[in-house]
Amino acid sequence: MSLSDLPDVQLEQAQKPALIVGVGAAVLLVAMAFVGADRDQFFRSYLYGYVFWLAFPLGSLALLMLHHLTGGGWGFVIRRLCEAGARTFALMAVLFLPLAVGISRLYPWTRAGWAEEAAKHAPFKATYLSQPFFFTRAVIYFVVWIGLGYLLSKWSMEEDQTGDPGMHNRMEALSAPGLILYGLTATFAVIDWVMSVDPDWMSTMYGLIFVVVHVFTAMAFLIFMASRFADHEPLAKVATPSRFHDLGTLLFAFTMLWAYLAFSQFLIIWAGNLKAEITWYVHRGLGEWSWVAGLLLLFHFFVPFFILLNRPIKRRKQLMAKVALVLIVVSALDVFWIITPSFFPAPTIHLSDVLAVAAIGGLWLWAFAKQAQGRPLVPLHDPRMEEAVEHGA
């Protein structure tokens, strides 16, 4: 095994290409907006790319806190990667600024007269969907996410340096309320940034579906990354076939949960048969977007359902890495199917959609690789590590 195969070296080598792709795509994206004068499409594409990539740090944060609460051996395989992902929220806060600039081009509730009309039949909605309140909530979301990621990473590093068992207790104590805060902030962020694109439509399950998408997408990404480093010590001690089987089983569980929530939302709205609600699904499920819905049904549920039921596949990290990559692409299609039909009656993919995903993704992967370097691949003094190694065969 050569020096170039070491995780830190691989991460360092990945940083520059990711940054070049991110910056280059961002320059092209901005140039298209100004040269082509299609600024509305710039913000639409940017919203799609941003919402998709936000799933990676949010899902990493949720899985990190879940691991601290449950102590499962599966968490030691991906814990360091989760911490790296959770330390990228400062970048995501900066990348949110274009959405703040383009708020009037994305959200109908910013237009003159909308609030007055909405106040006649939904006064709370008119109050909630106001620009000052919108930006205040966004600040709160990022403060919570950055704070949780910072504290959990800080205490984890202190545990490595000092071996103080009290650090583990702190992380566990923070994770319980942290998961509640994550659920609330992620739900309201999705309502603010995605659902309010269609301000006359609503669903009480919408935020929860996105929370599952966050965790599902992050889990697929973390499985792929863990498979790249699973042969290196000290990760090799815990990244056994049994642990990859556990990760695959969790991915299967999130697949099932996504299907259950997505179908439940559809069934409730369809049974209610209210014009204000059902048009959202008529447009996406029966109109020209219906074939995309069919692809999601096939590749977001049926195909992974049968693949992830297969125990031998889940125990082979290279196969799981390939499955995980496909599921990340499927998750991108899912977010596209949710957001883009709000702007276009028929399936339409613009070059700016691809550039937005590449720009935000390249910058995020650069930040992730930078954050993942310089730390052991597993926690050094976690009191549960010994048991995880013993039972991980």
* Positions in the chain whose pLDDT score sits under 70: 1-5, 36-37, 387-393
In a domain, 297, yes or no: yes
Domain that holds residue 345: 10-111+127-385
Residue bearing tokens 């029966």: 286
In a domain, 1, yes or no: no
Question: Which amino acid makes up residue 167?
Answer: M
pLDDT score at 277: 85
In a domain, 294, yes or no: yes
pTM above the 0.85 mark? yes
In a domain, 210, yes or no: yes
Measure the N-to-C terminal CA separation of the chain; round to a whole number of Å: 23
* CA distance linking residue 230 with residue 359, whole number of Å: 29
Q: Are 21 and 354 in contact (CB under 8 A)?
A: no
Dihedral sign, Cα of residue 188, residue 138, residue 147, residue 248: positive
pLDDT score at 1: 44
In a domain, 390, yes or no: no
What dihedral do alpha carbons 93, 94, 98, 99 form, nearest 10°?
0
Structural domains counted in the chain: 1
In a domain, 122, yes or no: no
